Each structure stands twice: as C-alpha cells, then as structure tokens.
Copies of this chain bind each other. A is one copy, B any other.
C-alpha cells in the first residue's frame, strides 16, 4: 500500500468540492490555479464548470499547469420515458466523451439516472427493474462510442438513498454485473468508480473490490460519512471527520493493483462550501496525508 503521509502526489480534487465558496461560484480557472499552486497534481472537473470556462481554454490551462485528470464528471442519466429523451441523452453523452478526450481524462464517470421524473419530484412510474434495463441499454450503446474514442467508462454506483432520483445502480456488485455483461473480456473499456461515500456500508465491499480487479477499478473517490447526516445530498464530510475507514478501503483497492489518484469529492453546503476555497484545499491535502 502506498504511503500517502509524506506528500500529496496522489491527491486529486473533484472540483465540486470547491465549486461555490461562501455563496459564490469559484470559477474553474481559479480552482485550477489554486490547486496547482499547492502542488496538487490532478483534478476531476464537472462539465458545467468546463463549459463555463470553455473546453479549449480549460485544456490549455490544464496543460500549462501540468495538471492531470483523475476522471471527468460526468455522463450517464440514461433514463427517460420517450425516444426523444433517450436520443438527447445519447447525444449529450457523446459530447461528454469528446470533452473527456479533449481534456485527457482517464475515464468518463457515469451517474446512470433514476426513475424518470423523480429528480424533479414526480416519478412518472415505479418500474425500477425496467429503469435498470434502460440503463443497461444506455451503457451498452455508449460503450461503442467510448471504445472508438478509447475513453473508458466508469460506472459509479451511488448510495441506495439515491436509487429513486439519481442513480439506480446502487452497489458495486450491481455495477460489476453490468461490466461483466457488457465487457466480458475485461478490456478496460468499462469499469467502476468506487466512491467511499456510496459504498462504505456494503457488507460485500471487499469481495466486490476483489472481483473488480485492476481492469475494472478506474477511480477512487473519498470523503466521509457524518453522524448525524443532515442532508441526503450536500452533507458529506471531510476525510477523517466521519465513520468511514478510508485507509482500509484504499488498501483493498490498492491490493488489486490500483495505483491512481485518491479523489476528494465533498458536497457540503453547511460547512466546507461556506469556507474559503484555499482553506478547503489545504484541509484536503492535510487529511489526504493523515486520514486516507
């Protein structure tokens, strides 16, 4: 297992962690500068942030700063009730692939979507199995484009509390079942993003990480689970402030040969988003070295 205590060369910052500080958007160019100034070597930006800064400008800035990507957030949202919706999602996912290529991302992270309409507060049906079948079709379809572009797809199972409205792939086992079905050769074109927040509770976690193996482990995201958790979406904890044994998790992932970044992804409307962005980045560095 790698020693993270001496430096932060394997820290990546998911840029949602510092996307709006003290009520104001922190623009991506400034986030990238602030990361580079601290010797952070990698980031995982969100599409809306890249769109606001410009794709080509972002690619240039990343290159100039020597910043790598640990992933690109995000594609997916495959679940729709009509053909037009599915086609729009397909087109948008292809654009996401192209952007990921332009930025030199190692993978496009997929958040697959929940029951159609649920995120807006009104699911149009309760057919969870049918929705999951649609996700499978969507990934199968996108995988062809991803293979052409040599851009791996990383299915991110989300915590079961998001099954209704954000993603109906909710365990690592379920995600790996999809991988096995759609890429039985383990080609590297399809894998998973293991986010500690989503999977830490799973009694089968270690087994499924072993099952994933090196070819399927495309990203490792970290934050922490707070007790109490006061909001289902935006009350994630800084590494070390909660109950997740992050070092154990990293050990399991690295035992399979994973040697990539540990990406800090913290949505925190009540705490970290209220602070100065530089302070948040400094804290991520310190906790990366001491808690991850």
Interface size on A, residues (CB 8 A): 36
Q: Give bound CA distance, A244 to B128, whole Å.
A: 9
Residues from 213 to 265 in A contacting B, C-beta threshold 8 Å: 225, 227-230, 232, 242-245, 248
In-complex Cβ contact of A161 among B119, B123, B160 (8 A): B160
B118 touches A244 (CB 8 A): no
Is A171 an interface residue, CB under 8 A from the partner? yes
Number of copies: 2
CB contact under 8 A between A228 and B160, given known A118-B243, A170-B201, A245-B126: no
Q: Give bound CA distance, A77 to B200, whole Å.
A: 21
Residues from 166 to 191 in A contacting B, C-beta threshold 8 Å: 168, 170-171, 173-174
In-complex Cβ contact of A171 among B115, B123, B203, B227 (8 A): B203
Pairs A–B under 8 Å by Cβ, sample size 15: A119-B227, A121-B228, A122-B227, A123-B243, A126-B248, A128-B245, A159-B161, A160-B160, A161-B232, A164-B201, A164-B242, A165-B227, A174-B203, A229-B232, A230-B232
Further contacts, 15 of them, CB under 8 A, given A123-B227, A165-B228, A228-B232: A118-B243, A121-B227, A121-B228, A122-B227, A126-B243, A128-B201, A132-B203, A159-B160, A161-B229, A164-B201, A164-B242, A164-B243, A170-B203, A171-B203, A230-B232
